[in-house]
Amino acid sequence: MSALVSDPPFGPTSAAGSMAAPTDRPLVLTGLKLAEMGLSGTNAFTADHDGHPALVIERTTAGASIAAKAENDRTDDQRADESRAGDDRHGNGQAIAELRRLSGLTWDQLARLFDVSRRSLHFWASGKAMSADNREHLQRLLVTLRAVDRGTIDANRAALLDPREDGEILFDRLVEKAYDRVVASLGPGDAHRVKTPEVSTKTMTERAPPPPETLVDALHDRIHPTSGRLLASKPVSVRRDG
């Protein structure tokens, strides 16, 4: 079990290198490239909260044509890198969702596991790039929780948050990244989760609500013009007192 936690599926423990692949990072354009694209003072380099540089382009009236030129200038390799980055970010969202589902922890508690704000966690779940360290932590947390899964959210949450006999709270061990300690304390999980059958795309499409695009275009009609021709009129027997 320990080996399971120590050797996550994405590589050896010195994973920082392998996970800090270029695909981790947002596309960064050099100053030369910026000059070629004619970008001016409306642009600025910033760093995301993981310390990665990110290019922020404030939209100007020329923004659309600049974006089009930038798209044309990108090489196939850049596009491939971006696609891989997209896949990783997609995976982060899935992994965070699984972490929530398995642990039953609140967003606040999950954020404490990474020592970040709830907002940062929301942005990771929404596709923002994570640092290599945080991605590793996320994957190790998942491996740990899968290994000790008690089968229900309540049981898993209790296992992590209820004080043990010696007063230890295993949630704190996860914060410290002592994954082995958590697995050793709880032992292997005995969960037999039922894998729900995958619903077809057709079914999901049929069940989808009207998309925002349709809702926002909704026309608030006056009553229908042909709803009026009178055939008969009969008094309703309502006595009006007074």
Partner 1 sequence: MPKLEDDSPEIVRIDDAMREWRQRDIALDVEWFVHIGDPGAALSAAAAESTDAGIQALTSAVRGLVVLTQTCDIVRSCAVRPYIECAPLVEADETFLRDVERGRRPSYAALPALMPERLVVDLDRVMTVEKSIVASWTRRPGWTRDANARRFAQSLVRKRARFAFPDDFTAFAKKLSSRLPAKHDKNSDEGRGLRALREIRVQATPSWDAPSVTVLFWFVRDERQGPMFEGRDWSKLLDSWLALVPSAGRFEVVEGLVVRLEELNGADYVSSDRLDLDHLSSGDELSP
Q: Which residues pair with 46 in a beta bridge?
A: 54
Q: Shortest Cβ distance from residue 31 to partner 1 (Å)? A: 21
Per CB under 8 A, the segment of 2-10, 34-42, 173-181, 218-226 that binds partner 1 is 218-226
Coil vs helix vs strand at 24? helix
Residues of this chain, 12-31, that bind partner 1 according to CB under 8 A: 26
Q: CB-based burial of residue 129 (10 Å sphere; 0-12 exposed, 13-18 middle, 19+ buried)?
A: buried
Nearer to partner 1, 119 or 164 (CB): 119
Give the span between the Cα atoms of 177 and 169, in whole angstroms.
13
Residue whose pair of structure tokens reads 């004619």 in the numeric block: 38
Q: Is residue 227 part of the contact set for partner 1 (CB under 8 A)?
A: yes
Site string for partner 1, 96-135 (x = CB under 8 A): xx--xx----------------xx--xxxxxxxx------
Q: Shortest Cβ distance from residue 130 to partner 1 (Å)? A: 11
Question: 104: closest CA among 171, 178, 165, 169?
Answer: 171
Question: 148: closest CA among 173, 123, 115?
Answer: 173
Secondary structure E strands in 60-105: none
Site for partner 1 (CB under 8 A): which residue of 51, 77, 229, 242?
A: 229
Q: Is residue 51 part of the contact set for partner 1 (CB under 8 A)?
A: no
Site for partner 1 (CB under 8 A): which residue of 51, 72, 201, 242?
A: 201
Q: Is residue 155 part of the contact set for partner 1 (CB under 8 A)?
A: no
Size of the site for partner 1 (CB under 8 A): 64
Tokens of 211: 């998309």
Q: Shortest Cβ distance from residue 14 to partner 1 (Å)? A: 27
**b/e 45-57 (16+ beta carbons within 10 angstroms → b):** eeebebebebbeb
Q: Where does this chain bind partner 1 (CB under 8 A)?
A: 26, 59, 61, 63-64, 67, 71, 82, 85-87, 89-90, 93-94, 96-97, 100-101, 118-119, 122-129, 201, 204, 206-236, 238, 240
